[in-house]
Structure 1
Amino acid sequence: MYDDILIPTDGSDTVPETLAHGLPLAADNDATVHSLYVVDSRVTAAADDETGADLERSLEDEGRDAVADVEERAAAAGLETVGEVRHGTPAKTILEYADEAGIDLIVIGTRGKSPREKVTSLGSVSERVVDNASVPVFVVRNAGADE
């Protein structure tokens, strides 16, 4: 049913819980696990030139580490992996990657937001992915998230 499963990562504390759901799905379907980290171009663009370059390098390093972590966990489960770090707006880049790579399922974590955070923010990455994905999206809510 699922040949290619995308597990986007931001390196946060929601990732282990997301993997706890996504990796068994991949194993049950003998699927390739795709890991994607998006360096948010809005963050790097907001910084001055010197700070922006340092910040971009730092985020790229963080992204490589986050992707490597997912790949290591997937490989330990005997799964084939593909990992990539891209630049862009997270939700849009996740959706573009899913279309380009022929992804069948996206497994994405969410930390949950308080009602106040929901009112003051533009929405979460996971919400935007769910709203705009052309494939099924499995959302894993962090057990420690407040609502």
Structure 2
Amino acid sequence: MYDDVLVPTDGSDTIAETLTHGLPIAVANDATVHALYVVDSRITAAGGEENSPSIERSLEADGRDAVTAVDERASAAGLETVTEVRKGTPAKTILEYADEQDIDLVVIGTKGKSPREKVTSLGSVSERVVDNASIPVFVVRDPDKTTAN
């Protein structure tokens, strides 16, 4: 059912919980796990022309570390992996990658922001992916950030 599972990562601690739920799905389907980190072009642009190259290099290094961490966990579970670091707007780039690679399922973590945090932030990448994806999206909430309604 799921031959290719995409696990976008931002390198945060939420990836551990995301993989706890996503890897069993990939194992059960003998799927290839795609680890994707997106260097947010909005951040590099905000750094100004002078600082942009060093910010971008730093974020690319963070991205390589982030996809390597996913690769190590997926490989330890006996899964084939593909890792990639791309530049762009995170939600849009995740969806483009999913389309290009014929991904069957996206497993994405969310930090469980409060309504106030959502208003003051750039918006939720996971929400944008869910709202615009043409394939199933499994959202894993960070248990340390859940809020009561």
Displacement of 1:117 in angstroms is 1.4
Runs of 4+ with deviation above 3 angstroms: none
SS in structure 1 of the partner of residue 7 of structure 2:
strand
For normalisation by structure 2, the TM-score amounts to 0.96
List runs of 5+ in structure 2 lacking aligned partners: none
Query: What is the CA deviation profile of residues 14-41 of structure 1, one whole-angstrom value per residue up to 9, with x for unaligned ones?
Result: 0000000111100000000000000000
For residues 32 and 146 of structure 1, the distance between their equivalents in structure 2, rounded to whole angstroms, comes to: 30
List runs of 5+ in structure 1 lacking aligned partners: none
For residues 122 and 16 of structure 1, the distance between their equivalents in structure 2, rounded to whole angstroms, comes to: 23
Query: What is the CA deviation profile of residues 52-101 of structure 1, one whole-angstrom value per residue up to 9, with x for unaligned ones?
Result: 11100000000001001100110010000000000000000000000000
Moved more, 72-81 or 40-49: 40-49
How much identity, in percent, do the aligned residues show?
A: 75
For normalisation by structure 1, the TM-score amounts to 0.97
SS in structure 2 of the partner of residue 24 of structure 1:
helix
Aligned residues: 147
Q: Which residue is equivalent to 2:71?
A: 71
Query: What is the CA deviation profile of residues 3-22 of structure 1, one whole-angstrom value per residue up to 9, with x for unaligned ones?
Result: 00000000001000000011
Q: Which residue is equivalent to 2:50?
A: 50
Query: What is the CA deviation profile of residues 81-127 of structure 1, one whole-angstrom value per residue up to 9, with x for unaligned ones?
Result: 00000000000000000000000000000011112112334520000
Q: Relative to structure 1, is the Cα distance of residues 122 and 59 closer, same or farther in structure 2, using a 3 angstrom cutoff? A: closer
User: Superposed, which structure 2 residues align to 1:62-141 within 5 Å?
Assistant: 62-141=62-141
